[in-house]
A and B are shown apart, each in its own frame.
Chain A
Amino acid sequence: MELNVNNGTDTGRIHLTTDELEKLRSAMKKLAKEKLDSIIANHSPEYWENYWNAVKRRRMRL
């Protein structure tokens, strides 16, 4: 898939077609899920329990 990017706008905004954007979005979501799964699998349940407890303590202090 080649993306035809129109950057010749007054605002400098990049424009993708709806189809191109949807393909890009789909690809990124897939990658984000793979990364998320990898991050979660990278650490023990104890690590995550410590992390979420730390987040909760921090929020209670604010």
Chain B
Amino acid sequence: MNTPWYDYLPDSFDRMFYFASSGEGNIDKVLIFSYLDDPDVYTVTMGNLRVDGSIDVHGIGDTGDPASVLSTVAKAIAFFLTDYPEAGVFIEGTTAARSRLYQMAIVRELDDLGKYFDIYGFDGNCEEIFQPGKNYRSFTISLKK
């Protein structure tokens, strides 16, 4: 994975990471993993940090390169799963368009991601190993066994 510079800070409850997607050293993105009603499945939420300290989760005013941002999220997932090796990270976009964006990013990074992660797609009925070209509603990423 080719990722820009970032930093992270472990949290004693949820796991929170913050990093600069632009690579210029200013906090830009904040990312948090939260437990999803199962002992080992977590969701991930990412937000843009505004200059006034508030958080934007809708990407309004986002000037970061989407590919590098998603690559950085993947690296944060890798670090998270290193600490929680039995966990899965559930990924679903807040909109259908965003879910498609995630799917496109996964396809693009699949060769790299596949070395470290098992990626599953869920279509609403069944879960399977992620197949490029198929549409899924959500994804679950876990460490490769």
Contacts and interface: CB of A to CB of B under 8 A. Distances in A.
Interface string A2-43: 110101000011101000110111011101110110111011
B45 A12 contact: no
User: Looking at chain B's contact residues, is the secondary structure mostly helix, strand, loop, or mixed?
Assistant: loop
A1 B52 contact: yes
A55 B26 contact: no
Contacts, number: 98
B45 A58 contact: no
A60 interface: no
A43 B92 CA distance: 11
A13 B8 CA distance: 8
Interface residues of B, number: 42
A55 B86 CA distance: 12
A interface majority secondary structure = helix
A36 B57 CA distance: 13
Contacts of A62: 145
B41 interface: yes
B97 to A, nearest CB: 14
A48 to B, nearest CB: 9
B68 interface: no
21 contacts: A1-B52, A1-B54, A2-B52, A12-B7, A14-B20, A14-B25, A21-B9, A24-B53, A24-B55, A25-B11, A31-B32, A31-B47, A31-B55, A32-B34, A36-B43, A40-B37, A54-B126, A55-B41, A55-B88, A55-B140, A58-B127
